[in-house]
Amino acid sequence: MQFGNSNQMFPVFFGVWIVLGLASTGFFFFNKNAGLKRKVWPPFMVITGLLFIGFSLAIGIPGNALYLMVPAVVLITLLNLRSAHFCNACGATIQTQNPFSKRTFCSKCGAKLER
């Protein structure tokens, strides 16, 4: 595989993204351990952002695009970190649609959410 060859790298990128999506859905939505999810969520989001940037470069996106891509990925990562909540009572993963409003109660069981 040649670095920067989009015809060869895109299927790898697509496959990794599907596996990552399925594995993270399985872990974050079916695992009931809220404490573990709180520990795993931040590094998972950072690694996912770095992986996206790395694959983008490997596919052949010009280096100049990093001036726009890196701030966008950082912003999206921060918004994703802020929008996820994990209920201690039922273990549910709650994603808020508006990351600027704070969720205080679990939409699944009604328990008070902690950060």
Range of the domain at 36: 6-95
* Domain-located, residue 80: yes
Indicate yes or no: pTM above 0.75: yes
Which residues is 85 bridged to in the sheet?
A: 94
* Domain-located, residue 11: yes
* Domain-located, residue 71: yes
Q: What is the pLDDT of residue 1?
A: 41
* Domain-located, residue 31: yes
Q: Is 27 helix (H, G, I), strand (E, B) or coil?
A: helix
pLDDT in 10s for each residue of the chain, 115 residues? 445 567 788 888 899 999 999 999 999 989 999 999 999 999 999 999 999 999 888 888 888 989 999 999 999 999 999 888 999 999 999 888 886 777 888 888 989 887 6
**CB count, 10 Å around CB of 50?**
12
Radius of gyration of the chain (CA): 17
Q: What is the pLDDT of residue 102?
A: 77
CA separation for the pair 86, 104 (Å, rounded):
11
Single-letter amino acid code for the residue at 72:
A
Output phi, psi for 68, to 5 deg: -100, -40
* Domain-located, residue 46: yes
* Domain-located, residue 43: yes
* Domain-located, residue 83: yes
Domain count, the chain: 1
* Domain-located, residue 100: no
